A and B are shown apart, each in its own frame.
Chain A
Amino acid sequence: MKVIGLAGNPNTGKTTVFNLLTGSNQYVGNWPGVTVEKKEGFFELNGEKIKVVDLPGVYSLYAYSIDEKIARNFIVNENPDCVVVIVDASNLERNLYLVLQILELGKKVVVALNMMDIAKERGIEIDHETLSKILGVKFVPMVASRGEGLEELKTAIKETMAGEAFSFRMDYGKLEPYIEKLEKCIPETSFPSRFVAVKVLEGDPEFMKKTESEEIESVIEEVKKEIDEPESYVTERRYAFIHGLVRECTRKKPGIEDKLNVSDMLDRVLTHPLLGIPLFLFFMWLAFQIIFKIGSPFADILDRAFGWFGEIVGNALSRMGAPYLLISLVKEGIIAGIGSVVVFVPNIFLLFLVFSFLEDSGYMARAAFVMDRLMHVVGLHGKSFIPMLLGFGCNVPAIMATRTLESEKDRILTILINPLMSCSARLPIYVLFASAFFPAHQGWVVFSLYFLGIVLAVLMGRLFKNVFFRGESPPLIMELPPYHIPTWRNVFMPAWTRTKLFLKKAGTVIFAGVVVIWLLASLPPGVEYGSEESLIGLLGKKLAPVLSPAGFGFWQAAVALIFGIVAKEVVVGTLGTLLGGEEMLREALKTHFTPLSAYAFMVMCLIYIPCIASIATIKQEAGWKWAIFSVVYSLVLGWVVAVLIYQIGKIF
């Protein structure tokens, strides 16, 4: 199968083009073992199925961040049949910088000149044919948000794949003789030697390491005698070339340029020094209202539907004379297990919908902007705020989102405190307990838990920063893309693929967890389901004394917490199975918990051990050492805070 890669700067409408090409025929890569959110999709071109890989948005191929490394390694090592570079036509100079570097890799390239409408608004006319002639690759004008230019793009891809790769040669002026020398002494890599030579002159850390030799060092020394800063010289040469190119191929209508556009006016308000943060908090509040006010009725319907279905199947089985154990497995294990997963879909889908909306509208970057100063307090920067925010949805994609941070210190720090952002899987626990014990103040109780998580994240962030990651914070350079009204497709598609990812994870891990509980609760054979004599009961009894200072020192709570490690929402299911079915659960809880110990229990659920999926992701991103550390510290912290709350609360 032929493969094409989509490359481009961030915010050039790359995702829009991806969605346009693939429609609903796309999926997000499975998180274990996969780099950044790797989106892949398929489309048909003259009856031939073609795979499209959406590469991370980057500004250059200099290995500054993991994203950049991924993009360039994909282009070189996976050797796609065609690379489509999406370019923002209204910002041609900066975008061409990446195009040039991709061209230098000597692959088959098509450039999509996206956002032609915005360019026109700004009075920029682009002669794409001359651009094509000079650079030797096809330039296709597009307005991806309206679907314009799609057919032309497909045609260009087809023609380019059929043709030969054009090897573009950038003239680096005074550096040329040195590039030649370097090419001779550079060890063979999968990259073109000229590309590597230029990257070495640019001081690319990855290539510097790979090509370390005295010979190369002496050439660099020589260069530095003639040119002070070779890396700046390279940048200058490229921009000088681009500048000439743009002057030749674009015309600007005078007079339109300096008008304040809508984005600027919005930014006056949204990034206002005083209004910025309150507005941001308001939007967050609004987001949570949407997620819960709209989502919960649907969740209730699903909940009831599964209960009803379980009854029907159970009755049918018993009429057929199935053994008790089987009926129990199907009803309490399988159907209840699937149900406990599916019930969260409405809330989670809405959450992802809201975040996709914020991302696509351009507001997410502003949120990072206004929050930067505050994040600085924790020793992180505004960009870390986005993974933290995503953590409210699910810590797994959130931890993966930390890859956009350049500095490893920042990444690990953000990963470590991320599980303190209360993910959506913990919500059912809060909802259950809050509705049972604090029916009049549910909203406030849930909010207080989220808030506690944030406060702890700040404190832990500071602590870890001072203990593990002393030293300066890396620079913050962040683009604030123009605002635009998100298209339904751009909001819906990512929300849906992320929800699918959740369902997949839920469908396997959580379902397995529920079945394992059922087994542990039913074994050894002959014991009453989930009783004290079952395996699970014995385990819980051993642990209960440790939990009693926190007010929930009974074996059912201990068991629920153990299984909460599988996935936090399993806590609810476990309590349900151990204390009595879904309907009676609220009543049953009241006999075991006081409002105070219920709160302490919720706090424990907030903090203790990230779920299996999160631990796996932390291991993947930061290694075993940090994954284990994360488990240990959260367990200790959760216990300490729960005990403090219970003991202090008892005084009043």
Chain B
Amino acid sequence: MELTRRLEEYLEVIFLIAKEKRVVRVKDLVERLGVRAPSVVETLRSLEEKGLVVHERYGHIELTERGRKRAKEVYKKHGIIKEFFEEVLKLPEEVAERDACVIEHYISKETLDRLLKFIKFIKECPGEEPFWLSGFQYYLETGKKSSLCRRTGESLTLSDLNPGERVRIVRIEKKELRKRLGTMGVFPGVEVEIMGKGPFGDPIELKVKGSKLALRSDEANCILVEREGT
């Protein structure tokens, strides 16, 4: 049975209020939904007609068995969407809650299913949180690509190192950078020492075969390295 967005919303709210306070009155709905009493009464009548709610005049509102089932479905959708917003897109809870409330009534079953599977997939990934998701969080916070965006979570780049560390270059991403550094004697297999960092942590000062180079952390991020002896 198709329900309008408004009716779905009513079912969900009645379900939630019932969970909190056991009894649900028209007044509660007026408060929660921010609409006037006559329109609440009118909507309730249409829900009653569909056999989802029992409402005695001036009395309590109760969900029928079918109504409860339906409300639970809607609420579950809400939960999935909210979780996706919060856990994957890293939105704050209020925003996730607010937007889930809107989207839940429109979203198709297929998309919802896919979201559900996606969340399950992430949760079941070995380890705590997939590295690229942490990378995404870092990206959101700093606007910079994280070294965690690499193929494996453990790859080390030049920008991850501290002054004094010595490493060997494994790979240089980005063609232009590779060529440019190549002409200056920096290519895979070469040993590099981090000499220091500039004011505000950027650029990075390197020593390669006795000569010193300065690189920005954006570029250092593209240079994959390994520590000696690994």
A91 touches B211 (CB 8 A): yes
Binary interface encoding of chain B residues 177-195 relative to chain A, with 1 for a CB under 8 A from any of its CBs, else 0? 1111111110100000001
**Residue tally, chain B, CB below 8 Å to A:** 33
Which of chain B's residues 164-207 have a Cβ closer than 8 Å to chain A? 175-185, 187, 195-203, 205, 207
Q: Is the CB–CB distance between B196 and A476 below 8 Å?
A: no
* Interface residue A212 (Cβ < 8 Å from any Cβ of B): no
Interface secondary structure of B, over-half rule:
mixed
Q: A479 near B213 (CB under 8 angstroms)?
A: yes
Contact B175 A203 (CB under 8 A): yes
Which B residue's beta carbon lies closest to that of A94?
B185
Question: Is B198 a contact partner of A267 (Cβ separation < 8 A)?
Answer: no
The CA of A41 and the CA of B198, in the complex, are separated in Å by: 39
Bound together, the chains give a CA A481 to CA B210 distance in angstroms of: 10
Q: Which residues of B contact A202 (CB under 8 A)?
A: 179
Contact with B along A360-404 (1 / 0, CB 8 A): 000001001110111010000110000000000000000000000
Q: Judging by beta carbons under 8 Å apart, are B210 and A273 in contact?
A: no
Residues of chain B within 8 A (CB-CB) of A60 are 183
Q: Is the CB of A373 within 8 A of B198?
A: yes
- The yes or no answer to A274 lying at the interface (CB within 8 A) is yes
In the complex, which of the residues A62, A239, A370, A479 contacts B179, with contact meaning CB atoms closer than 8 Å? A62
| A268 interface residue (CB < 8 Å to B) | yes
A59-B184, A62-B179 are known contacts. Are A479 and B212 too (CB-CB below 8 A)? yes
- How far is the CB of A11 from the nearest CB of chain B, in Å? 8
Cβ of A264 within 8 Å of any chain B Cβ, yes or no, is: yes
A267 near B195: Cβ-Cβ < 8 Å: yes
CA distance A215 to B230 in the complex (A): 45
* Contact yes or no, B219 A477, CB < 8 A: yes
Instruction: Flag if B198 contacts A372 (CB, 8 Å).
Output: yes
B99 within 8 A of A: no
Expressed in whole angstroms, the Cα–Cα distance for A235 and B189 within the complex equals 13
Q: Is B212's CB under 8 angstroms from A267's CB? A: yes
Q: Is the CB of A480 within 8 A of B212?
A: yes
Q: Is the CB of A480 within 8 A of B199?
A: no
Partner of B210, one of A90, A203, A229: A90
Interface of A is mostly: helix
A276 to B183, CA, bound (A): 29
Find residues 258-282 in chain A having any chain B CB closer than 8 Å to their own CB: 263-264, 267-268, 271-274, 276-277
The answer to whether A370 and B199 have CB atoms under 8 Å apart is yes
A475 CA to B212 CA, complexed, in Å = 16
- Chain A, Cβ-Cβ closest to B184: A59
Q: Which B residue's beta carbon lies closest to that of A235?
A: B182
CB of B32 closer than 8 Å to a CB of A:
no
Contacts of A231 in B (CB 8 A): 175, 178-179, 182
A97 at the interface (CB under 8 A from B): yes
B interface residues, Cβ below 8 angstroms from A: 175-185, 187, 195-203, 205, 207, 209-216, 218-219
| Besides A231-B175, A369-B198, 17 other A-B contacts (C-beta < 8 A) | A62-B183, A93-B209, A94-B209, A235-B183, A239-B182, A239-B185, A264-B195, A267-B195, A271-B205, A276-B198, A276-B199, A372-B214, A475-B216, A476-B215, A477-B184, A481-B212, A482-B212
